[in-house]
Amino acid sequence: MTSTDTGQRRRGSDARPVITELIDEMTILAIAEEAWVSLVGEDEVLVPIPSELPGDILSSWVDVVGPWTGSVVLTTGRATAEELSRALLRESAPELLDDEDVADAFGEIANVVGGSIKAALPGPSGLSLPQVGNAPLVRNAGDLCRVDVVWRGEPLTISVQGALPPLPVPTPSRENEVPL
Amino acid sequence: MRALVIDDSRAMRRIVTGILTNLGYEVRDAGHGGEGLDVLNEGWVPDLATIDWNMPVMDGLQFVSAVRSNPAWRRMTMMMVTSESEHTQIVRALAAGAHEYMIKPFTADAFRDKLALLGLLPQEVAL
């Protein structure tokens, strides 16, 4: 007797980890702090306090593709992204930063933080070029690890979010059930 | 001493250029591997090239392979400066011909230490 695979059953190979099984908030914070000290400045601190983002926000992110697939997303107010870019460039910052300068510097911070987070995840994985704009949507609230920090008094979030929707919940087969 | 800084991020190019200039290097930069090869083809062959991995047009690994295939550029030291920190990637870069590997993020001191390890600190700085 042959059976047809309807695709409804969950296979062993379908099992995929969610980010909270692979990394925690403390590790993400430690990675971000290290990046901040190296890129932004030795005295720059990230304070882990939840705080509301302003209305005008900007995100930068890199995608990780591998055993876990998703994005590492930094989001902050546009003015804070500009201040971050200026801090990153220090004395080589132009007097007037244009959008391209901000996108480039803010994107590089996402690249460095994302690269370090990728290294903490199971591999091998690929890392995309950084992107800047509106953050990718959270596809699965269960595959999300987010850290809220404050830098120079301004809120910033670091979100490690899966790119795939949740797997369907397996339902018990009624195929062999005998009606009473 | 001369250095060629190859990175698609202008911010990172400025940072690395700043470190190298402070150490006394004469620096040129390029936004990807192809632009880096253009500089070499002009006859401006540096003592050191710092190379990002993930770049559009021509990535760092392709640049390293291209340099290694030309004997005229053999004396140039190539250091990957990248956020790719997986062991397998480091091995790939070294196997392709890179001499050293620097993982982002890094500090200016760590950068200087790597150059010292490679014997590439200008003499007046090394003293």
Query: Which pLDDT score, from 0 to 100, does residue A8 have?
Result: 47
Q: Do B18 and A92 touch (CB under 8 A)?
A: yes
Return the closest-CA partner of residue B84 out of B96, B99, B102.
B102
CB nearest to A107's CB, from B9, B106, B107: B9
Question: Is B126 contained in some domain?
Answer: no
Query: Which pLDDT score, from 0 to 100, does residue A79 have?
Result: 96
Segment B19-39, tens digit of pLDDT = 999 999 999 999 999 999 999
Query: Which positions in chain A touch B104 (Cβ < 8 Å)?
Result: 38, 111-112, 115
Please say whether the structural domain A17-162 has been given the CATH code 3.40.1550.10.
yes
- Evaluate if residue A180 carries a pLDDT over 70: no
B53-84 burial code (b ≥16 CB/10 A, e <16):
bbbeebbbbbbbebbeeeeebeebbbbbbbbb
Query: Which pLDDT score, from 0 to 100, does residue A9 have?
Result: 47
Question: Is B89 contained in some domain?
Answer: yes
Q: What is the CATH number of the domain that holds B24?
A: 3.40.50.2300
User: Percent of chain B having pLDDT more than 70?
Assistant: 97
- Evaluate if residue A89 carries a pLDDT over 50: yes
> How close is the nearest chain A Cα to the Cα of B60, in Å?
13
Query: Which pLDDT score, from 0 to 100, does residue A166 have?
Result: 79
Residue from A36, A37, A40, A111 whose CB has the most chain B CBs within 10 Å, to mutate: A111
ipTM of the complex: 0.87
CB nearest to B105's CB, from A38, A85, A124: A38
Q: How many CB atoms lie within 10 A of CB A167?
A: 14
Query: Which positions in chain A touch B89 (Cβ < 8 Å)?
Result: 124
Q: Do B105 and A37 touch (CB under 8 A)?
A: yes
Question: How many separate domains does chain B show?
Answer: 1
Question: Is B127 contained in some domain?
Answer: no
- Evaluate if residue B66 carries a pLDDT over 50: yes
- What would the DSSP string read from start to end of chain A? ------S-SPPGGG----GGGT--HHHHHHHHHHHIIIII-TT---B-------SSEEEEEEEEESSS-EEEEEEEEHHHHHHHHHHHHGGGS-SS--HHHHHHHHHHHHHHHHHHHHHHSSS--EEPPPEEESPPPPS-TTSEEEEEEEETTEEEEEEEEESSPPPPPP----TTPPP-
Segment A20-67, tens digit of pLDDT = 999 999 999 999 999 999 899 889 999 999 989 999 999 999 999 999
Q: Which of A83-97, B52-66, B70-84 has the lowest mean pLDDT?
A: A83-97
Q: Judging by DSSP bridges, how do beta strands B2-6 and B26-30 pair with one another?
A: parallel
- Evaluate if residue B123 carries a pLDDT over 80: no
Query: Which pLDDT score, from 0 to 100, does residue A172 have?
Result: 63
Three-state DSSP state, B16:
helix
- Evaluate if residue B1 carries a pLDDT over 50: yes
Which two structure tokens, joined as six digits, stand for B122? 């200008």
Residue from B7, B9, B80, B107 whose CB has the most chain A CBs within 10 Å, to mutate: B9
Task: State the residue range of the domain holding B92.
Answer: 2-121
